[in-house]
Each structure stands twice: as C-alpha cells, then as structure tokens.
Structure 1
Amino acid sequence: MYKRIFISFFFSGFAVLLYAQDYNVYDTTVKVETVADENYEEDYEEYSQVDTVLYSNAVVLEKDSINSWKRKKEFAYIKNLDSLLKASQEKEPIHKQRIPGGDSFATRLLGGPVIKIILWTLALFFVGIIVYQLLKNRGLFQRSSRSKVAEKPEDEDILLLHDDFEKLAQQAIAIGDYRMAVRYHFLKILQQLRDKNHISYEPDKTNARYVYELPLNWRNDFSKLIFQYEYVWYGHFDINQHQYEQVKYGFHSFLQKI
C-alpha cells in the first residue's frame, strides 16, 4: 500500500513539473541600476574654473599681404567697395571742408560783436530819420515848431488876409530879417494858390497836403519851395543876403506859373 502511495506522489510531482515547463512565467519586477556619472564632478570643476578675462588678439597684416589678397579672384568685390567709398567721399558738401588757413581777418572782424552793434545802430538811426520825415510831412511836429516861434503874434490865417506880402517882405529886408522875408514870400504863394482855386486853404492843413492838390507839373517845384521854407523858418536858420536872393528867385519863378 505504501508502495502505491509513493508511486502516485512521484507521478503527480512529475506532472506538475511538466506543466510548469509548458506555462511560461515571467518576472515583471523592474530592476533599476544606478550608474554613477563619474565625469559630472570633473565637468563641474572645469566649468567653475572658466577664465573671463578678455585678451586682445589683434592680427596685424602687412600692406603687401592686403594688396595680394585684393588681387585674388575670391576678393574681387573689394575693388568695387573701394570705388564706391571714394565716390561718396568726393560728394561731401563743400561747406563742410574748412579752409586750411582758417577764417580771414576780415571775416572775423565782420562777424564780431562790435561790428554787429555798429550796423544795428546805423540801421535804427536811418529808420528813425525816415519815420521822423514821414511824421513831419503829416504835420505831427509842425504844431510844436510853430508854438516855439513867438517872434510874430499873427498866425498864417491872419497873414493870408493881407494883400501886399511884397511890401511886408521889403520891410523885413530893411531891418535885415531875411528869415521873415522868406516866410512872407511863401505866404504870398499860398494866397495866390487859394485865390485861383488851386488849393483849399485850411489853417491846420499841412504843406504836404497842399502838394497833392496841385497839378502834377507843379508838384515838384512846389515841394522844393516847401523844403526851403521849412528849413529856414522852422529850422531857425538865419540866412544871409546872398542865400535870400537864391530863395527869392525860386519863389518868383513859381509865381509866374500860377
């Protein structure tokens, strides 16, 4: 009986062994092997010791070497670049090129502050003269000049009521007052122009306005008489006998035209 049990057990174990060989059993366990990087520490040490100092590594080329390179076929484009650069330099504005000797003495003198002040002063002076003449012709300064003349109490309005200004002029000449004689000659001309309706007389009207009331062919001569009269009378200019005769001739010549 024991012999049967042993034989049964033997065959059972053998069957199990055969079944295990037919059924493949795989182990799914993953084995991770850690491999130490031996070069890591060496790379870190090499990186930490990098030299950050800048060194000048200029390459000096001889002129002959540069010219020889330019003649090579590979560097043929350099000739075109040189010609373009030269052309652009020749086209620079002329005013940017300074004269080697610098500015001349005359240029520095005319550009100095003293000359500028003198020129501005002269310009203002001439402008002032022009403005004064314009205002004077409009009579703005005429009243003030007349107020200073207190030699005769009569104004021009009263004097124009006289009929014989030649007689008054002779009386002034007799006492040597040629300046007053010139005044009488001018008032006589105004009287004649008014009587013949060439002007419209008003006491406050300026002599320049009388000029524009006259015919064109009279204006130039009458303007000269006004200039002489105002220069002598309002300018307080004491003329001599010879100067008076010249002024008198101009007044008499104009009277013949009226």
Structure 2
Amino acid sequence: MRNVILVCLFLGFGFFAFAQEEKRPDYYDDSVIEKQTISEEDIETYKSDEDFDYTEAKKEENFLDRFVRWLRNILTQFWEAIFGVGTASGFIYFVFRILPYILLAVLIYLLVRFFLKVNSNAIMGNTQGKGEVIYSEEEQIIKNEDVNALIKEAVRQKNFRLAIRYYYLLSLKYLTEAKSIEWQPQKTNEDYIKELKSTDLRFDFENITKIYDYVWYGEFAVNEVRFESLKLPFESLHKSIKN
C-alpha cells in the first residue's frame, strides 16, 4: 500500500511540473533591425583620435644601448668563430645575453676605481663651510707650504675634511724627506705603497690611505669628535717616520 502511495505522489508532482512548463508564455522580439554603415569620414575620425592609435612607438636607442648591442655582436661573432654557438640555447644563451652587461659593469668599476686612486694634483681648492681655504696643487703644498699651519687653519675653520687631506699630504712630505718614497705628480697612492720597503710603514700608510680615500674622495662628513679619532693614525705614522 505504501508503495502505491509513493508512485501516485511521484506521478502527481511530475504532471504538475509538466503543466507548469507548458504554461510558460513565448516572447518574440518584433523590433526592426537597422543596418549600420561606417563611412570613410567615420574611419578618418577614429584614425585622428589618439585614444584609438595602437601603433607601438619604437624606443630610440641611446649611446648605452648601442654600445651594449655592439659589444654583444662582437662577442657573438667571437664565440661563433671558436665554438660555433651562434644558435646557442639554455644556459649558454643566458650567459651570452648577460655577458655584455657584466663586462660593462667591470669596465665602469675599473674606471671609477682608477679615478679614485689617482692623486688630485691638478685639483684646486675645494672649500667647505663659512671659512674658505684655497689650497694650491699638491706639489706646491708638499714642497713649499707649511703643511702644519694649513692643518691648524683648516681645524680652526672646522673644515675637518680638508684637514685630513693636509694630514695625508704631510705624510707624503715626511716620507719623501726620509727617502722612503720618491714623490711624483703622476704617481698614485698604490705606487707609494709599493715603494715602501718597511713593513710597518707600509701597513700604517695603507691605513691612512684608506682613511684619506674614504673621507676626501667619498666626501664623508667629519665632525670634530670624529676628526680627533681619525688624525691619530696619521700622527702615529709621522712618529714612526721620524724615528
């Protein structure tokens, strides 16, 4: 009996759903479809509108781009001639792609390092603060000037960077007078380090050279407290030279 009731209910619901589906009304779109035409004037209007200009602008190569491209072509020809790797792929291709940039970075590093190490014998006065101290070329300072007086004047005007520079020139003056080095305008600080035969003097001179490069070429700001600490290695070297 229970099964008969379930069958009747199932058939009843199915008939009700079918009846609901049959009663759903049909809708028709009776609007008139107009054919749209595009004239030449419309096309020209869109062409002159920058918002519809999808032309990709080509980036103009600068000097660096041309140099990198030239260097890459040279390297490609070189590797092709030796290994025949013009169509290289994978890791080798990646190496060839970045190699010009690595070489360029090395070249820039060497140039910067060279200019930092070269003595500034042609550089004239670089003044700082309210009191301006105009200094002459290194040769004039080392051979003819009272460098200790220049140091005191720079300290008095609180131009401590310039005082460190004078301390370094005074060190070169003392080493020259002691015949430990032969001062020449074209020589670099590295040349003087190699000339020093005394291990102790060479170590101390290397130390003050690092301080000098850091303060003077690196434009490191030096206050009075810092200056009192930085001048100690210079004074220690001067005592060693005189002894």
TM-score by length of 1: 0.46
Larger-Rg structure: 1
TM-score by length of 2: 0.48
